[in-house]
Amino acid sequence: MSAVSIRGARKRFGDPDTGTPVLDGIDLDVAAGEFVAIVGASGCGKSTLLHAAAGFERLDAGEVQINGVPVTEPSRRHVYVAQEPSVFPWFTVVENIAFGLRDLAPSEIARRVQEHVALVGLQGFEDAYPYELSGGMKQRLEFARALAVDPAVLLLDEPFGALDAITRLQMRREILRIWIATRTTCVLVTHDVDEACELADRVCVLSPRPARILEILPIALERPRSLDAPEVRDVRSRVYGLLRVDR
Amino acid sequence: MSRIGRVAWSLAGVSLFVAAWAVATRHAPPSGVPGPAATLRGLLDVARSGALVRNVVASVFRVAVGFTLGTLAGVPLGLWIGWHARAHAFFNPVLQALRPISPIAWLPIATLWLGSGDSAAVFLIFLSSFFPIVVAAAAAVRTIDRRYLRAAENFGVHSIALARTVILPASLPQIFTGLRVALGVGWVVVVAAEMLGVTSGLGYQINDARNNLRFDLVVAAMVVIGAIGYMLDGLLRALERRAFVYRSARDGAR
């Protein structure tokens, strides 16, 4: 059984019959522990697909299943991380990470918080407020809060889009390190082809709106991997070709 | 600007104002508008007799009670109206139509209902605080960043827990601005409310002193009203800075 299974996903903006089509029948399976990147031009509908998987938006037709259970509403089984950090400015690092754990026993909350502070390397900042953290640290806090609830899948919507170029590269390594440590199933939506090629087991290329899957390209290369490796360069040029970007 | 520079400029401003006041009133007859010196003498008179303390305590007490009641009623109602579109549609027209009515206009009705005395004045302060607070709280909830609500939904946080951990803290800075406005209006209104039916308070002092042609005591009360109003707002601002330390960086210089 796939961790994530998207079947015949269709969606129009506005009216389900006459609105602008956004998703034109998407089928995608993501295995447990897999890292899949979805790339496509801006506005192609990739965020809509992720919102549907998160339960924030309904599809007009088709469905998304997580571990075989259809997604009908937001849930801790599938946590969504966007480019603008949504950590709560009125909570400290520890309080933010504990946010999704309120129904657990206090000792278990403490254990998970400690574990995830360490996982994302925020030791020493436990009692800091988000305004005291850099953009990259805020995003790491976002990952810690998401992973602390032990989700079946992490839905990453351009998670590094708001960061500067250097922090972005550092965060790519960081998310890779975290993924290798936890092997949490990840679906990453991005328009950064390098990002997709550096991180993903498979790169799924979407057409311009309405989105269809043009091709799914596997990269069978250990991570961390070099962007200069022949396999990566090959996939990258094919992705650019599919996106009709001449290089 | 350095701290010393700021204090120096402020002192210069106050001094210039007092000097202009002294110059403008220098040829006034004893029964005319008092200058700073006459006002200070009057102030010392009422301070020594104990009337000043009694009047300040009475006014501050009325504002404190009315403002507290206004906050206790206004914040929850505002949060509720801000959260539920139906409650907003239901209450908003009535609130918006009641809001521009000066609380002073309620004075006849208030005394009709509550008789003269403390309760009528307190009721006017309650009205003065209630509307700015309800409106601020409702607006605050309606402008909460979607990201935070989405995250709460994603982590399965609903109803009371949602209100306590997300809606209230996210709205609190804007609610606090409403509280400052409310306290300011309440302090303005208490003076007018005390001109009828009570025998204490700074408003009473102004009315009573005028009847006795003691204009030095009228102006002395005005000076005290100004100083206390300034202090009350300073108090809330200090509280605001401490409570919302996490906002200071995000909002830049404040």
| Per-residue pLDDT, B247 | 65
Q: Is B199 on the interface with A (CB under 8 A)?
A: no
Which residue of chain A comes nearest to B147, CA vs CA?
A86
Token pair 């091709």 is found at A215
- Residue A100 distance to chain B (closest CA, Å): 5
| Per-residue pLDDT, B181 | 94
- The reply to whether residue A131 touches residue B157, judged by beta carbons under 8 angstroms, is no
Domain architecture of chain B: domains with CATH: 38-253 (1.10.3720.10)
- CA B8 from chain centre, in angstroms, equals 28
- For residue A84, pLDDT over 60 is answered with yes
- Are B229 and B189 spatial neighbours (Cβ–Cβ below 8 Å)? no
Distances (CA, A) of B159 to A55, B80, B134, B139: 19, 12, 20, 19
| Per-residue pLDDT, A247 | 54
- For residue A161, pLDDT over 90 is answered with no
- The reply to whether residue B245 touches residue A129, judged by beta carbons under 8 angstroms, is yes
Chain B, 216 to 245: residues with Cβ < 8 Å from chain A are: 245
Orientation angle between helical segments A165-182 and A106-119, nearest 10 degrees: 130
- Judging contacts by C-beta atoms under 8 Å, the chain A residues touching residue B170 are 88, 90
Q: Is B155 on the interface with A (CB under 8 A)?
A: yes
Chain B, 114 to 153: residues with Cβ < 8 Å from chain A are: 145, 147-148, 150-151, 153
Quote the tokens at residue A232.
């990566």
| Per-residue pLDDT, A79 | 96
Mean pLDDT by 10 residues, chain B (254 residues): 92 96 86 89 93 95 96 95 94 93 91 88 95 95 94 94 94 94 95 89 94 92 96 92 69 36
| Per-residue pLDDT, A14 | 86
| Per-residue pLDDT, B241 | 87
- Are B172 and B244 spatial neighbours (Cβ–Cβ below 8 Å)? yes
Tell me if residue B102 falls in helix, strand or coil: coil
Question: How much is the pTM?
Answer: 0.85
- Are A88 and B169 spatial neighbours (Cβ–Cβ below 8 Å)? yes
What average pLDDT does range A136-141 have in this prediction? 94
A54: buried, middle or exposed (CB in 10 Å: 19+, 13-18, 0-12)? Answer: buried
Which value does ipTM take for this structure?
A: 0.90
Mutate to test the interface with B, among A73, A88, A109 (most CBs of B within 10 A): A88
| Per-residue pLDDT, A15 | 86
| Per-residue pLDDT, B125 | 95
Nearest-CA neighbor of A155 among A21, A56, A26, A22?
Answer: A56
- Judging contacts by C-beta atoms under 8 Å, the chain B residues touching residue A73 are 153
Mean pLDDT score of chain A:
92
Q: Is B154 on the interface with A (CB under 8 A)?
A: yes
| Per-residue pLDDT, B251 | 42
**Antiparallel, parallel or unpaired: β A153-157 and A185-190:** parallel
- The reply to whether residue B154 touches residue A76, judged by beta carbons under 8 angstroms, is yes
Sequential DSSP letters for B125-137: HHHHHHHHHHHHH
Residue B16: other Cβ atoms inside 10 A: 10
